[in-house]
A and B are shown apart, each in its own frame.
Chain A
Amino acid sequence: MTEPRKFRYIGRHRRAVEHRRFVVGKGRYAADIQLQGLLHVAIVASPHAHAKIISIDTAAALAMPGVHAVLTGEELNVNTEAMLPGVDAPQVKRYPLAHGVARYSGEWVVAIVAESRALAEDAAELVEVEYEPLPHIVDPEQALQADAPLVHAANGSNVIFQRVFNWGEVDAHFAAAPHKLSYRARWARSSTVPIETFAVSAWSNDATGILDVWASIQMPKFPDQLARALRMPGNAVRVHFDVDVGGSYGVKRGLKHAVLVGYLARKTGRPVRFIEDRLENMRGGDMQGPDRIFDVTLAFDGRGIIRSMRMRAVDDVGAYAGRSPLQLGKPVGAIIGPYRIASVQYEAISVMTNKTPQEAVRGFGQAPTNYAIETGIDKVARYLNMDRIELRLRNLIGKDEFPYLIPSGTTYDSGDYATVLGKALDAAPLAEIEKERDALRARGQLAGIGISTCLEPSGGNSAFEPLFNPKNQTTTWMDSCLIRIDLNESITALMGTSTSGQAHETLVSTVVGEVLDREPDSIRVLHADSLNALPSNSPVGSRMAIMLGGAAAGAAKKLRAKLMRIAAHNLGLPESELVYQDGNIAAKTEPAKRLTWGQLVEIAHRKIHQMPKGDEPGLQEKFVLEVPTGGKLPTADGRVQMYPCHSFETHLVLASLDPQTCKVTVHRYVCGHDCGVMISPDVVHGMTYGGIAHGLGAALMEKFAFSDDGQLLSGTFMDYLLPSSMEVPSISIVDHCTPSPLTEFGQKGSGEAGYLGGPAAIASAINDALAPVGASIDALPMTPYALWHALARAEKNSS
């Protein structure tokens, strides 16, 4: 293993550039943008899980003073293109407003535009919609049955994607394995639920023909898709990425919101804005997350060596699908977790039901899969009566085995899993946590220790697109950066996407400062708008440290090379005789012979006569970075390199539950984390803490629950519970650094850290706590009520 490089700015504590505006209330979020003459949108939503829309009477609403437009699907759908599903299912058509049929309770049916949001809501109450309820389906397994009501009749089935992959000698490995263990693990419908809902404003300038859009967006290719849906040329839609996004973690994909508002802005000729209120966000914002049933069988020997795995995952995507089915595809790139499992059979089934649609959630499907794998690892240990840590150590890929090719075609770049695990155990330290556990048990609590060891694929590529949709041949997911040095010697870097808390301005300025050896705080980083931006695929898939950081480094290196050429030309020395320091360039042997940063910049900007032949005047360079390892289509049997880099995390948790009330307390939390070289350690730690808290929510309290008649029961912040500072424990993070050989500085991604292994570890702790009384639970969220049920079941079984 190579030693991490030494850096001047990278890896050091540095105040994030963005914070300065946030702490004084000067952030600029989509809802903060005030346009003159702004009109506001309210929505009439379907109260039915599935219903035919017989008629819509908008007359009274339209007649109300202050109302400018009332829009139904009938008008909108003929004037816009349907939004595309991520898989090949052309009959699953999706528009912002339902037309003819409403397929879930909360689906938008009518949009009202008025002088104020309050007035729009008043008018919404006057719209009369006549429905004829249709048979509906809310249970994903029933939705798979042949006689189930169809969510999209034209699709002929509720299954929107299904494929069985066989990677390696599954049957042979199963036949040879002395032990097999089957289990079911259930991941509940939860999501990232940012504190900011989705907001979008649009204004159409008839004279220029440009539609300006400000949106709280985190979505690859959003401007292109918006233009396509609105039937506008790409160069007529300008999405402003200089909007601070109030959290996303995957879900801020308000394409339907933006299509609606863009259309309304063009229709009314006025700026129009829609800010989802929280009720709309939860019910009709189409931002719920994976909802999965895993049926898994592991094949292993008496020493606990796991040879093969069969996994069937049914994911309930809700009534429509954007990219949600692909969330079963991304885990293909880490389907064996950190373990040496030699073969895998994986069946992925995306099924539609009459529920609010699912959207991308932190980890893009990996956290549920990790939870399912880890549940099995613990079960094998329990079955063999073996220590869970020892079992993991026997199966973890060794640090000398990298690059490691997994059966599904991805090569893990680097790692040292056992060391990270060991560091976390030492930091805890495990013996002390065991003592605490015993003390809790002595006090009558059910206490347990949880552990998980999980992969965190990063550097987000789109390889799941061709894997799940042969008609889609996307093999690149580039990102870019443009840097210029102005005549006054300052550096400005431009990125082509918005930021939702990942501190990209800090990332880019640190990287550019490192490469150009200039003080990062002097470097300005801006978010271009989509008509001025180089291509970006947005901060998804834990990719920006790698992709934006890599692109920024690439552009900065080009500038540095140009400065070297200018210096060599003017000092009359070969570049090999020169040293670059702080932006000044001097002769190695004769330091007085030098050109300062200012002089170099001046030459580039003003003195073409002093420029080396072939160099353009000015200092401006761009770099478009292709995803490392990208560029390939999947093989016929579905093997593909998914993401390039692979971070690793291990979680160690001490939790207890009160055996009578079943209330859970998390007492200790240690996370060992290796994401290679950290460019901004505070940012990485922050995201990891946040990911753990989010994972705690998914494990213990968060769920979009639906009634049998398809009504959302957790549509407010009083019913859908995000953990507060009282539920999230104090967390210790133990860092380790195994640099990636594939990236500029050895960095890997970490935007999904914490969430990918947290739920598994908390579930593990709870099952360890329940084990002494013969109880177990394999479904999230493990609420007090669910735990009480599990205990009661165990009691019944034992009597």
Chain B
Amino acid sequence: MSKIKLTSIAIKVNGVVREAQVEPRTTLVDFLRDTLFLTGTHIGCEHGVCGACSVLVDGDPVRSCCMFAVQADGLSVTTVEGLAPERGKLSAIQDAFCEKHAMQCGYCTPGMLIACHALVERNPHPDEAAIREAISGNLCRCTGYQQIVDAVKHATGAKSGAHD
């Protein structure tokens, strides 16, 4: 077993440049969680299916379990902790998630929020089909997705489904 080799990286995380020494094999999600203690980003599968680990890299949603931290060197990463416009406030999507009960255990929620933020960035008024497509790479076992779809509709001004 060779000695542990570390690589220096600097990643702008939620607007702040974070420098660290990491093992190349450390995934971005492990780096966020274990080194930066940003535990809002979750792990569900570590093989690129569940989307719980979604973060924005240079503004685009990606799965942080399918990327090594060294690959994010010099890039900018936004995690769920960085979605609110300011401390104590919520983004429109976050607020709508609360209003529409778009979560239960909350485990998939950070990834869902990342996917939804990315969606409205590209498409400010998505219809139901676009919303479902945008969150289709994020598995939720609690909600059956319905109240998540409702929340995005609510946040983007579209009409919601049942139980308004």
Please tell me whether chains A and B touch each other in their complex, using a CB distance cut-off of 8 A: yes
> A-side interface residues toward B, CB under 8 Å?
15-16, 18-29, 31-32, 34, 64-65, 118, 122, 192-197, 244-249, 275, 277-278, 500-503, 681-683, 685-687, 689-694, 716-718, 722, 724-726, 728, 730-733, 754
| Docked complex Cα distance between A728 and B79 (Å) | 27
Q: Report 10 cross-chain contacts, Cβ distance below 8 Å, ordered by A residue.
A: A23-B90, A27-B40, A34-B37, A118-B23, A194-B105, A196-B105, A247-B104, A687-B104, A689-B146, A717-B50
Residues A693 and B145 in contact, CB atoms below 8 Å apart: yes
Residue B141 at the chain A interface, CB threshold 8 Å: yes
Residues of B within 8 Å of A754, CB to CB, are: 144
Residue B60 at the chain A interface, CB threshold 8 Å: no
Residues A31 and B104 in contact, CB atoms below 8 Å apart: no
Residue B6 at the chain A interface, CB threshold 8 Å: no
Residues A717 and B45 in contact, CB atoms below 8 Å apart: yes
Residues A500 and B105 in contact, CB atoms below 8 Å apart: yes
Residues A686 and B39 in contact, CB atoms below 8 Å apart: no
Q: Which of A249, A686, A694 contacts B101 (CB 8 A)?
A: A686
Give the distance to chain B from A131, nearest Cβ to Cβ, in Å: 25
Evaluate whether A24 and B90 lie within 8 angstroms (CB atoms) in the complex, with A15-B98, A728-B145 already known. yes
B41 to A, closest residue via Cβ: A25
Give the distance to chain A from B14, nearest Cβ to Cβ, in Å: 10
Q: Which of B52, B81, B108, B133 contacts A726 (CB 8 A)?
A: B133
Evaluate whether A16 and B101 lie within 8 angstroms (CB atoms) in the complex, with A25-B38, A725-B135, A726-B133 already known. yes
Residue B56 at the chain A interface, CB threshold 8 Å: no
Residues A690 and B161 in contact, CB atoms below 8 Å apart: no
Give the distance to chain A from B140, nearest Cβ to Cβ, in Å: 7
| Docked complex Cα distance between A34 and B142 (Å) | 26
A60 to B, closest residue via Cβ: B1
Residues A690 and B144 in contact, CB atoms below 8 Å apart: yes
| Docked complex Cα distance between A752 and B148 (Å) | 20
Give the distance to chain B from A51, nearest Cβ to Cβ, in Å: 27
| Docked complex Cα distance between A724 and B44 (Å) | 14
User: Among B38, B79, B131, B142, which residue has the most Cβ atoms of chain A within 10 A?
Assistant: B142
Residues A23 and B97 in contact, CB atoms below 8 Å apart: yes
Evaluate whether A25 and B139 lie within 8 angstroms (CB atoms) in the complex, with A19-B103, A501-B106, A682-B101 already known. no
Give the distance to chain A from B45, nearest Cβ to Cβ, in Å: 4
Residue B84 at the chain A interface, CB threshold 8 Å: yes
| Docked complex Cα distance between A180 and B26 (Å) | 63
Q: Which of B26, B100, B101, B139 contacts A722 (CB 8 A)?
A: B139
Give the distance to chain A from B102, nearest Cβ to Cβ, in Å: 8
Residues A732 and B162 in contact, CB atoms below 8 Å apart: yes
Residues A196 and B98 in contact, CB atoms below 8 Å apart: no
| Docked complex Cα distance between A247 and B143 (Å) | 11
Residues A725 and B39 in contact, CB atoms below 8 Å apart: no
| Docked complex Cα distance between A304 and B93 (Å) | 52
Residues B105 and A24 in contact, CB atoms below 8 Å apart: no
Residues A19 and B97 in contact, CB atoms below 8 Å apart: yes
Please give the number of chain B residues whose Cβ is less than 8 angstroms from any Cβ of chain A in the complex. Answer: 63
Residue B99 at the chain A interface, CB threshold 8 Å: yes
Residues B146 and A730 in contact, CB atoms below 8 Å apart: yes
Residues B44 and A22 in contact, CB atoms below 8 Å apart: no
| Docked complex Cα distance between A501 and B104 (Å) | 4
| Docked complex Cα distance between A716 and B137 (Å) | 15
Give the distance to chain A from B48, nearest Cβ to Cβ, in Å: 8
Interface of A (DSSP majority class): loop
Residue B154 at the chain A interface, CB threshold 8 Å: no
Interface of B (DSSP majority class): loop
Q: Which of B1, B49, B106 contacts A122 (CB 8 A)?
A: B1
Give the distance to chain B from A354, nearest Cβ to Cβ, in Å: 26
| Docked complex Cα distance between A730 and B140 (Å) | 15
Q: Besides the contacts A118-B25, A689-B145, what 5 more A-B pairs have beta carbons closer than 8 Å?
A: A15-B98, A27-B107, A29-B42, A247-B142, A681-B163
Evaluate whether A23 and B104 lie within 8 angstroms (CB atoms) in the complex, with A29-B42, A731-B146 already known. no
Residues of B within 8 Å of A717, CB to CB, are: 44-45, 47, 49-50, 139
Q: Which of B39, B99, B162 contacts A32 (CB 8 A)?
A: B39
> B-side interface residues toward A, CB under 8 Å?
1, 23, 25-26, 33-34, 37-47, 49-50, 52, 79-81, 83-84, 90, 94, 97-101, 103-110, 113, 128, 131-133, 135-149, 161-163
Give the distance to chain B from A700, nearest Cβ to Cβ, in Å: 14
| Docked complex Cα distance between A732 and B113 (Å) | 24
Residues B44 and A278 in contact, CB atoms below 8 Å apart: yes
Give the distance to chain A from B4, nearest Cβ to Cβ, in Å: 8
| Docked complex Cα distance between A201 and B22 (Å) | 24
Residues B106 and A19 in contact, CB atoms below 8 Å apart: yes
Give the distance to chain A from B70, nearest Cβ to Cβ, in Å: 14
Residues B132 and A726 in contact, CB atoms below 8 Å apart: yes
Give the distance to chain A from B23, nearest Cβ to Cβ, in Å: 7
B135 to A, closest residue via Cβ: A725
Evaluate whether A689 and B144 lie within 8 angstroms (CB atoms) in the complex, with A24-B40, A717-B45, A730-B149 already known. yes
Residues B23 and A277 in contact, CB atoms below 8 Å apart: no
Q: Which of A29, A193, A502, A687 contacts B107 (CB 8 A)?
A: A29
| Docked complex Cα distance between A718 and B66 (Å) | 15
A23 to B, closest residue via Cβ: B94
| Docked complex Cα distance between A128 and B98 (Å) | 51
Residues B136 and A724 in contact, CB atoms below 8 Å apart: yes
User: Among A16, A23, A686, A733, which residue has the most Cβ atoms of chain B within 10 A?
Assistant: A23
Q: Which of B39, B90, B141 contacts A29 (CB 8 A)?
A: B39
Give the distance to chain B from A744, nearest Cβ to Cβ, in Å: 23
| Docked complex Cα distance between A31 and B46 (Å) | 14
Give the distance to chain B from A62, nearest Cβ to Cβ, in Å: 13
Q: Which of A22, A731, A732 contacts B109 (CB 8 A)?
A: A22
Residues of B within 8 Å of A34, CB to CB, are: 34, 37
Give the distance to chain A from B112, nearest Cβ to Cβ, in Å: 10
Q: Which of B40, B46, B104, B136 contacts A503 (CB 8 A)?
A: B104
| Docked complex Cα distance between A65 and B4 (Å) | 10
A693 to B, closest residue via Cβ: B144
Residues of A within 8 Å of B90, CB to CB, are: 23-24
| Docked complex Cα distance between A733 and B46 (Å) | 35
Give the distance to chain B from A275, nearest Cβ to Cβ, in Å: 8
Residues B145 and A685 in contact, CB atoms below 8 Å apart: no
Give the distance to chain A from B54, nearest Cβ to Cβ, in Å: 12
Residues of B within 8 Å of A722, CB to CB, are: 50, 139, 141
B131 to A, closest residue via Cβ: A725
Give the distance to chain B from A650, nearest Cβ to Cβ, in Å: 16
Residues of B within 8 Å of A247, CB to CB, are: 104-105, 107, 141-142
B79 to A, closest residue via Cβ: A25
Give the distance to chain B from A634, nearest Cβ to Cβ, in Å: 34
| Docked complex Cα distance between A502 and B137 (Å) | 24
Residues A26 and B42 in contact, CB atoms below 8 Å apart: no
Q: Which of A22, A196, A730 contacts B161 (CB 8 A)?
A: A730
Q: Which of A25, A64, A275, A690 contacts B142 (CB 8 A)?
A: A690
| Docked complex Cα distance between A327 and B54 (Å) | 36
| Docked complex Cα distance between A687 and B132 (Å) | 19
Evaluate whether A726 and B40 lie within 8 angstroms (CB atoms) in the complex, with A23-B97, A244-B106, A249-B141 already known. no
Evaluate whether A65 and B1 lie within 8 angstroms (CB atoms) in the complex, with A23-B113, A24-B80, A686-B142 already known. yes
| Docked complex Cα distance between A277 and B99 (Å) | 33
| Docked complex Cα distance between A690 and B103 (Å) | 10
| Docked complex Cα distance between A205 and B2 (Å) | 34
Residues B110 and A685 in contact, CB atoms below 8 Å apart: no
Give the distance to chain B from A533, nearest Cβ to Cβ, in Å: 21
| Docked complex Cα distance between A499 and B26 (Å) | 31
Q: Which of B52, B98, B100, B145 contacts A725 (CB 8 A)?
A: B145
Q: Which of B26, B46, B83 contacts A277 (CB 8 A)?
A: B46
Residues B107 and A195 in contact, CB atoms below 8 Å apart: yes
User: Among A502, A690, A754, which residue has the most Cβ atoms of chain B within 10 A?
Assistant: A690
Q: Which of B38, B46, B108, B128 contacts A730 (CB 8 A)?
A: B128
Residues A25 and B136 in contact, CB atoms below 8 Å apart: no
Residues A690 and B46 in contact, CB atoms below 8 Å apart: no
Residues of A within 8 Å of B113, CB to CB, are: 23
Residues of B within 8 Å of A21, CB to CB, are: 106
Residues A15 and B40 in contact, CB atoms below 8 Å apart: no
Residues A195 and B50 in contact, CB atoms below 8 Å apart: yes
Residues of B within 8 Å of A278, CB to CB, are: 44-47
